[in-house]
Structure 1
Amino acid sequence: MNEDQTQADTPTCDAMREAGSWNTAWDSLAELDAEWTEKFLGMATHPIRKGILDPKTFELIAIAVDASCTHLYAPGVRRHIRKALEIGVSVEEILAVLQLTSILGIHSMALGAPILIEEAQKLASDGPVQGTY
């Protein structure tokens, strides 16, 4: 924090630290801009803090987000699975979320398989393309 900044009020961050939900990777963000970090985490936790989503639904969504192929954040997956189990979510329900989340990776096949077929057909009919690299 530079000398022009004042200490920001960070109730969401403080509550997450107290609850053991704080990710130490956020320490540097909070140090550089506590106000932005508070707003970001406030947005991310809004549905659970305001009672919009019940704890079970929130934890299952958090597992899906952290386990998704675009995030792959193991500490978050572990933290949210542990919390989900503590509040009574079944192993089968968590497994179903992980199985559904794995479908995100299917886009690689949906994109790549048609290209593979097209290029294999071109190679079979035209031979190797020279000078493409």
Structure 2
Amino acid sequence: MTEKTYPSTEAQRQTDDWNPMWDMLAEMDPDYLEAFLAFRAVPQKNGPLPQKTKELIFIAINAATTHLWAPGVRRHMQNALREGATKEEILEVLQLTSIMGVHSMALGAPILNEEWEKMNG
């Protein structure tokens, strides 16, 4: 089996996929952060799902009432739109996610309108 390499913490810091909370974690325990980032990169870099599908799942995760992370919702909506997702597909993801709690829709719908307008305005 060939060894796979994943972006270092510093390389990931330069992308739009950087969570500012990770700066604090990098100071507290850089080895843990490096391991976590490598772990989370595996399904993002490998596997049979198309990138658009992965981005739709990331929208659901970030909009879920247990997470409600608006910067992640926005980032993954932008990525999904770039990958060819439609407004209707993203709205359906929010609707499905809202089954956990309507807060998902309250968070995601305004962001979807903003991002759709930016791309198609």
5+ long unaligned stretches in structure 1: 1-9, 107-133
Aligned-residue sequence identity (percent) comes to 52
How many pairs are equivalent? 97
The match for 2:85 among 78, 84, 89 is: 89
Report the TM-score when normalising by structure 2.
Answer: 0.71
- The whole-number CA distance in structure 2 between the counterparts of 1:45 and 1:53 is 14
Code of the residue aligned with 2:60 in structure 1: it is: A
The match for 1:98 among 76, 94, 101 is: 94
Contact map agreement 1:66 1:77 (CA 8 A) in 2: yes
Q: Tell me which residue corresponds to 1:43.
A: 39
Code of the residue aligned with 1:78 in structure 2: it is: R
**Structure 1 residue 41 displacement after superposition:** 2.1
Report the TM-score when normalising by structure 1.
Answer: 0.65
| SS state at 2:101 partner | helix
Code of the residue aligned with 1:81 in structure 2: it is: M
- Superposed, 1:24-43 pairs within 5 Å as 24-43=20-39
Query: CA RMSD, aligned part only?
Result: 1.8
5+ long unaligned stretches in structure 2: 1-5, 103-121
Code of the residue aligned with 1:65 in structure 2: it is: I
**Structure 1 residue 22 displacement after superposition:** 0.6
